[in-house]
Every structure is written in C-alpha cells, then in structure tokens.
Amino acid sequence: MIINDRELDRILATVQKPARYIGGEFNSIVKDWDTIPTKIALAFPEVYDLGMSNLGLAILYNLVNRQPHLLAERVFVPWVDMARAMRARRMPLYSLETRHAVRDFDLIGISLPYEQLFSNVLNLLDLAQMPLHSLERDASFPLVLAGGNAVFNPEPMADFIDMFVIGEGEDVLLEIIATFEDVRHADRDTQLRRMAQIPGVYVPRFYHPVYHPADGTLMELSPTVAGVPAHITKRISPLMPEPVTKFILPHTDVVFSRASVEIQRGCTRGCRFCHAGMVFRPVRERSLAELLETVDAIVRDTGHEELGLLSLSSSDYSQIGPLVQAISEKYQGAALNISLPSLRLESFSAELAEMLVGRRKSGFTFAPEAATDRLRNVINKPIRTESLLEAVDAVYQRGWQMVKLYFMIGQPTETDEDVIAIGTLAKQVLAIGRRYHNNKAKVRIGVSTFVPKPHTPFQWASLWDVADIERKQRILLDEIRGQRSILYNYNNPEESLLEAALSRGDRRLGAVIERAWELGAGFDAWTDQFRGSAWWQAFDDVGLSAAWYARRPRLADEIFPWDHIGAGVEKRWLLLDWQSAQQGETKIDCREHCYNCGILSAFKGLRAATPPTAWKCPPVRNPRWQKKVEAGDVIGLTPVVKASMARAKVPEI
Amino acid sequence: MKYRLTFTKEYPVKYVGHMDVVTTWTRAFRRAGIPLAYSQGFNPRAKIQVAGSLPVGTMGSAELMDITLTEPVAPDDILARVSATLPRGYRLLAVEPLAPGTPGLQASLRRAEYRVTFETDLPADELRARIDRLLARTEIVQTRVRRKRTETFDLRPMIINLSLVEKQGDDAVLAMTLSAGQHGNVRPEAVLTALGINNEWYQAERTKLVFDI
C-alpha cells in the first residue's frame, strides 16, 4: 500500500511541522520498489526531529542501500497530533522514501539506544497496524528486529521483538538479511531458528525464564529448543566501519542539526557508571588521514555548517592535536562550526576547542560527574578538584563566558557532603569566571540522577528513593540560592525511577510496558509527554513494583536477566570492580594497563585476525588485583548506603 | 555581487517552512561551491533574501530570491551547478545579475497571482455565480489570528482578480490575484472561505509575484 499525495495532504493540513512526514530530503535514497527483492524499514522509535540526528541509523541506511539488491527506507514515530490523525483515518505508518506501509517491508529494524523508547515501539507497531506480540505475528508480517545499546538487556522488550541484534549492527545486518532471503518462504519459527544460528542474534521466544518463588529473582533463563546458544556474545566491527558522508539533510530544524563522524569507538577510562564505556570495548580509532578525507567529503556532499567529531572521550584520540590543527587550518573562514564533545577536564581542552571555534564561544562543557575527590574515585573518574579548577580557568581565560558542568546525584556511597560540594564547586568556578568576565561570567550545572545500568560495575547498585533524590536536589538548591549567575538544571526523579526499573528489568516487564502504553504512555524521553501516573498504574495493574526493580539490593550471586547476553566484559570482573569502587580504588586508563576485563578473551580470534595496533588494548599482564568475593554478600555496601536502604524500606516483590 | 534567482517550490517541499527553505538553499549553494557572502557578527548568516514567505503547504512556480556572493560567477554557471545539487521539489529556473542599487524584494512586493485547485461537487455555474456575488460586494469582513491576536480585516480590497479557470470532474481551479507584501497580505484560503468553500483538500500554487518598480 502506498500513501498518495492527496490522502497525505488531507492529514498534513491539520498537523504541526508537516515537513517531518514527507521525505524527499537531499541525500535520501529512493530505489525502485518493484525491482528490489528484499526491503528493510529502518525505524527509530522517536519523532523525526530526534531520529534524524541518530548516527547509527545513518550508518545502517547507507550500508544497506549500498547493496544493489537491497533497499532501506526510514520510519519514525509520528508526533501525537499526526498519530491521532492517522488513526482517525486508518492510515498505516509509512516509510519516508516511497511511502509504503511499514507492513509491506520484509524486515523492520528498530533502533533502541535507550529505554525511554520502549513505549514508542508499541506505538510504532500499532500505527503500522501489526499485532504487538511477536508470537501473534506469522510470516506474513515483516520480521521485527531490534538493536542498540538498550538491548544489552533485551528482556523487557522480549514479548514484542522477534529477534535482538546484540552489539554493532553494521557487522551483522547484511548477514541477517541474507539469511532472511534464504528462509523467506518458511514459517516464522523456522525463519527464527535459522536466525538464532547467527552469532550475536538473540531470539527470545526460544528461551524461558524461571523465577525463584520466594523472592521473585531470576532462577534461570535457558533455551527451550535444541541448537540455540545458551549465551549470546555481542558482535563488533574489528575496524571502524566506513564513515557516512552523504548525510540526509532534514527538511526541518532537528535537535542536533549536524553531520558527524566517529573519530574513535569505545573508551578506555573505565568510569563505573558508564554503560557505553563498558559495552563499546575495545577502543578502535579512525586514522587521521581517513578523518580528514571524511570531513572534506561531508562538506562536499552535504554543505553542512555544523560538523561533530564524535567519541566517548575525544581527548583520548591519539591524534587529537594534529586532527584539530589540520581541520582548523583548512576550514578557517568557511562558516563551518566544528564541535568536539566529551573533552577531558584539563587545560589542554580549552586550547583544542579554541582552535576549532571561530567567533562563537557559547558555553564550554565538562562532565566531572561528582564534586569531591572521594566520590570521583568511587566512580573511577579520578580528577582532582585543583586540576578541574585549572581547566576551568583556562576556559574562561580564553574567552568563554559560560562553563557548563554535568554532575550526577545518587551515586553509590554518596553523602550529603558530596551533594553540597557540587554547589561549593560551582561557586568556586564562578569566582574564577568573574576574574575574567566580571558579572558576565556564568556557570550552568546540569544535575541528573544516577541510574544503575546492566553490564556496568554499578549494576549491583540501588537507585536512591525518589524522596531522597528530591531532598538532595533541594539541599543543592539551598547551597546555590541567591547566586543568579549559577544556573541549575535537574531532572524529574520519577523519570529516573522508570529508567532504572526498565534498564534492569526482566521479561515480566513486557506486560507493564504494554499496559502503560494502553494507558497513554509514549514519548517518555520528553519531559512534557512523560506520564508517570500511567506507568505506576501499569506496575500496579500487573502486580509488579518499579522500586523492586530499581532499588532492591542485589546479591553478588544473583542471576541477572541479562547474564546470557555478553558484552565481552565478564560479570566476574564487573563484580570485582564494584568492590574496588566501595574501597575508593581507582583504575588507570586501560590502554596503559590491562585489567583483563574479558574483552580480549571473548574476541581472541577476531583480535588475531585484526592488525595488532587496531585495538588500543595492551598485552594482558598478571592480574594482581583479583580478590575473592563471597557469594551471598551484599557487595561492599557502605554503612551510608545500608542505612539509606533501611530508611527507604525497599519493598519485596 | 548580487543575483536574482527564479525557482519553484513544489511537492513535497511545499510543506517546508520559510526559514528551513533558506537553510536548504544555503547548503545547496555551499555544495555547488558558490561563494556566498555571510553577515558579520556573532552568528554569521548567508546573505539570502527570499521574496514574500510562502505559507507552509502552498506551492510556488516562480519564486524569487536574491543572493550576495563574494566574487562574481557567471549566471549560467550558477544555474548549472546549483541545479545539479537541489533536493526533489525545487527547480532553479533563471539567474540574473542585479544592478547595484536595485531595491530589495520585500520592500517592493505588491501582488501575487495564485492558481487554486480544490475538490467540489458544486457545478461550474454555481461557482461563477458565487464569484460574481463576492466581487460585487463592497466589503468582506473576516477575522484572522495574527501575532496571537484575533483581528478583523476587509478582504475585498485585497482581491484584485478572481475567476474560475476550469471545472474537471470533482476538481475546480480558480485564478486569483491578491495583495501581497508589506501593505497588505492575504492568503488564498481567505478567498475560499469567503466563497463558502471549506474543503478539507485544496492545493494553492503561487504562480507570479508582482512588484512595484
């Protein structure tokens, strides 16, 4: 089914920002539907304005469309007004390139980088006029796959998705499509049994979870059919994949309107809260020559005014100095803004950034994450306050009037002193700014709530109680009250509670997600759309507790719903690192010293087949840091955390 | 060096808003290697001026845009290079150099001609009769929302010409010449409303911009 112009006109006349729904952008790829045998819809379960900023989608779109016999088209979730209008007219969700109904595709690949998108996946399936449940869709429906960072714990979405792709999609997507072409005419179960043979693919219908009757935790999650793996290890590209240069230029002003290129993938810093830092190992760099060629090609192919050099820790790119210098020399006066996010807290960062910006010095962002030396040791982001202040000094001195600092509250072992220290630090930073800019100096502190994530050393940690987070937000506010040059942003702790419950949830949460969606949840990443009441009612209706998932203390030997999914970093290693965190022991950059996290043993063969310098892992040394952990211990909880748990009366399921 | 460009805005980009149209063209010029001049200051902008911002949803078949370049480029060269890199829905029809001192587009815009297609089961005679009755009136008071305020205005002096072009099947086509620019600006929808046509589907196309020279 194709949506025709006049039918679309009738609807678009009634909605906001209709340009989101029309396609035809420069660099979008329109292939001949009738002569291409295999078609995939690449869906980002958010509105166009947000989805179009996603680099992963752009990479897969170009990867598939480079194959002459394949076609990939984009699908986003229409905003609330458009969704209402489409439902009223029974218009199915359609792709932007050729306006075919999503149902007409062979496969739908859904990108799930974060948990707030789960409810929108149901929106997407429903608007596509497809049954929500995987088991209710036979082979006449497209095969629904999902990948991205959030599927490192796929269980909460297991009811809705036919197969999950664990790890880096560019390495496996073409293999999946080729397998589909092989089993195109088979029934859905047969198709999925073949898919389950592909390394990195997880087909949840072939696995069954069993829970402890006593406490509701997972007892086991194992295959129910022969020939599917008990453990699924992620896929990785051994080298950086080919960069995208022909970025689709959105018709409307999108959230991050820029072209971007990854300078490296992965991070060796080992921050204990950081999901990306754990699941994107090992670190792979793009060569300086390739980066410079790519920047030239992007400018030529897009005419973009904004270009982002992406990585989890830009300062760690080995050629960062030469890169920035070459780009700034070449593009001086070309009305090109180049952004370099994730700079380390050091004076050199100000030098780097200054080389890149022309006139615009809007604000300089650092992410110390915690305000005391002690807590930064716990989270393994060991920067000393004095170096932090030196870095800030360099930034103000070079002309920036605003410094933005990102923090998290609610981290393990945190005390009120750590929270108050955020305010104290903000005032110290402002005092430095005033030396250079008098009353024009500003500090913006963005304070989010720490959410424990699976596959990180903090996966055993508890989320703080909502009331306690609100109290911490207030004492910080008291600390900076009356300071008009300190701007303070913080998030709604209820959103953090939901994120925490979903990110470490199990398969039973499928019913909660479905109920919440029925009650109106959707676009949960938008503060004005987030409906806490729908979610809490959904938990009640299903008979589960968000707090149980988010806040219960987890024992060292607890089986987690994501234990059968391998990110390469071993659980045993994460547990030891969690214990080190309690003692405030830090680990240095693992390019300098290998802590044997497990990534090299998981990908031994791949490493051997890859040039030895391509990964930034040094040789493994004798791991003298290993310590014994007693099974059954509530690992290393400090007295403070224990006390707060007792106060909070974390409910049992 | 200034140049005046004539271009179209068709399906599907008729849904793209005025500011985003400027962004689209800026990037096309950059891809084509056309040396755009930029404003000085904190947030440099390309010197591009588009005449009479076209409402979202309305097509244009002879839209005008003035651009300033840092060095001269042959008009045919601009036409060829930019045409090669335009997204679907835009076409560049003509490029001419502007003599120094030519007044800006926005200040001298006076009228615009439209072709409006809509679905109707009214016969052609009835449509002609309604047009005649409308044009015979001395005042047509309508309300519109402007800058979040509802105001009333007289539509009649803003209708310069109005006629039925054809009626084929369910589709009727009207030709209109309406006031445009700083001294009074009105959209073709206002005329449809005055004719008692409240269709959910219609298609307006601006076919000509008329300037006071």
State residue B213's pLDDT score.
Answer: 66
User: Are B94 and B147 within one domain?
Assistant: no
User: Is the CB of A251 less than 8 angstroms away from the CB of B16?
Assistant: yes
State the best of B11, B20, B29, B30 to mutate against chain A, taking most chain A CBs within 10 Å. B30
Picking from A384, A386, A365, the residue whose alpha carbon sits closest to that of residue A374 is: A384
The pLDDT assigned to A100 comes to 98
Q: Which one has a higher pLDDT value, A206 or A648?
A: A206
Question: pLDDT tens-digit profile of B136-150?
Answer: 999 999 988 878 889
Return the minimum-mean-pLDDT range out of A524-533, A629-638, B60-69. Answer: A629-638
The answer to whether residue A473 is domain-embedded is no
The pairing of strands B171-179 and B109-119 is antiparallel
Give yes or no for a contact between A612 and A590, defined as CB atoms under 8 angstroms apart: no
**Domain membership flag for residue A601:** no
Please give the average per-residue pLDDT across B174-196, as a whole number. Answer: 93
Q: Are residues B133 and B197 in the same domain?
A: yes
Contacts of A24 in chain B (CB under 8 A): 12-13, 87-89
Which amino acid would we find at residue A171? D
B201 and A CB contact within 8 Å = yes
CB atoms within 10 A of CB A188: 18
Give the three-class secondary structure for B70: coil
Q: What is the dihedral of CA B151, B152, B158, B161, to 10 degrees?
A: 120
A vs B, Cβ pairs < 8 A, gives 78
For A297, nearest residue in chain B (alpha carbons): B31
Looking at the structure, tell me whether residues B72 and B128 fall in a common domain. Answer: no
Nearest CB among B24, B28, B201 relative to A9 is that of: B201
* Percent of chain A topping pLDDT 90: 85
Any domain includes A112:
yes
Q: What is the pLDDT of residue A588?
A: 94
pLDDT level of residue A357 (50, 70, 90 thresholds): low
> Alpha helices, DSSP H only, in A168-249?
173-183, 188-195
Report the distance separating Cα A616 and Cα A622, nearest Å.
Answer: 18
Predicted local confidence at residue A636, as pLDDT: 42
Domain boundary among B72, B102, B132: B102
* Residues B93 and B151 both lie in one domain: no
**How many separate domains does chain B show?**
2
Query: Strands A70-76 and A38-44, how do they pair?
Result: parallel
Report which DSSP code applies to A17. -
DSSP state of A241: P
Q: Do B20 and A335 touch (CB under 8 A)?
A: no
Enclosing domain of residue B13? 2-102
Tokens of B213: 């020279």
B134 SS3 class:
helix
- Same domain flag for B89 and B9: yes
Mean local confidence (pLDDT), A543-547: 97
Distance CA A586, CA A181 (A): 50
Tens-digit pLDDT profile for residues A463-483: 999 999 999 999 999 999 999
Q: Is A54 inside any structural domain?
A: yes
Q: Please indicate, yes or no, whether residues B85 and B115 belong to a single structural domain of this protein.
A: no
Query: B182 falls in which pLDDT band (50, 70, 90)?
Result: confident
Would you say residue A383 has pLDDT above 60? yes
Q: How far does the CA of residue A647 sit from the closest CA of chain B (Å)?
A: 52
* Predicted local distance difference test score (pLDDT) of residue A203: 98
Residue B184 is predicted with a pLDDT of: 86
Task: Give a yes or no: residue A324 inside a domain.
Answer: no
* pLDDT tens profile A99-122: 999 999 999 999 999 999 999 999
Considering the domain boundaries, does residue A98 fall inside one? yes
Angle at A38 between CA A34 and CA A41, to 5 degrees: 95
Range of the domain at A213: 5-227
Write down the pLDDT at residue A79: 97
Same domain, B181 and B202: yes
Q: Where are the alpha helices (DSSP H) in A331-398?
A: 347-356, 373-378, 385-397
Q: What is the CATH number of the domain that holds B170?
A: 3.30.70
Is 70 exceeded by the pLDDT of residue A205?
yes
What's the pLDDT tens digit per position in B10-30? 999 999 999 999 999 999 999
Q: Can you give the CATH number for the domain in which A59 is found?
A: 3.40.50.280
- The reply to whether residue B44 touches residue A359, judged by beta carbons under 8 angstroms, is yes
Shared domain for B168 and B205, answered yes or no, is yes
- Out of A6, A19, A335, the one facing B38 most closely (by C-beta) is A335
For residue A116, being part of any structural domain is answered with yes
What SS3 string covers A108-137?
EEEECCCHHHHHHHHHHHHHCCCCCCHHHC
Average pLDDT, chain A: 92
Residues A252, B16: C-beta atoms closer than 8 Å: yes
- Domain identity same for B22 and B73: yes
Closest chain B CA to residue A28: B87
DSSP H helices, B59-205, are 75-83, 105-108, 124-136, 188-194
Is residue B63 located within the same domain as residue B98?
A: yes
Judged by a CB distance cut-off of 8 A, whether residue A10 touches chain B is yes
CA A272, A53, A303, B41 dihedral sign is: negative
Chain center to CA of A381: 19
CA distance A522 to A66: 34
Measured between CA atoms, how close is B212 to chain A, in angstroms?
33
CA atoms within 13 A on the CB side of B52: 28
Q: What is the pLDDT of residue A648?
A: 42
**Would residue A187 count as lying in a domain?**
yes
Domain count, chain A: 1
CB-nearest to B27 from A19, A304, A359 is A304
Q: How many angstroms separate the CA atoms of B74 and A598, rounded? A: 63
B11 with A5: Cβ contact below 8 A: yes
pLDDT band at A632 (very low <50, low <70, confident <90, very high): very low
Closest CA to B134 of B113, B111, B164, B110: B164
Cis peptide before A241 (omega within 30 of 0): no
What value does the mean pLDDT take over residues A257-284? 95
**Cα maximum dimension of chain B:** 59
> Is A643's pLDDT higher than 70?
no
User: What residues of chain A lie within 8 A of the CB of B57, using their CB?
Assistant: 9, 12-13, 18
Does B64 lie in the same domain as B9? Answer: yes
Strand order in the sheet with A442-449: A364-369, A402-409, A442-449, A486-490
Least Cα separation, residue B31 to chain A (angstroms) = 5
Q: Examine the domain organization and report whether B15 and B90 are in the same domain.
A: yes
Q: How confident is the model over A570-595, as pLDDT tens digits?
A: 999 999 999 999 999 999 999 999 99
pLDDT digits (tens, 9 = 90+) for A36-68: 999 999 999 999 999 999 999 999 999 999 999
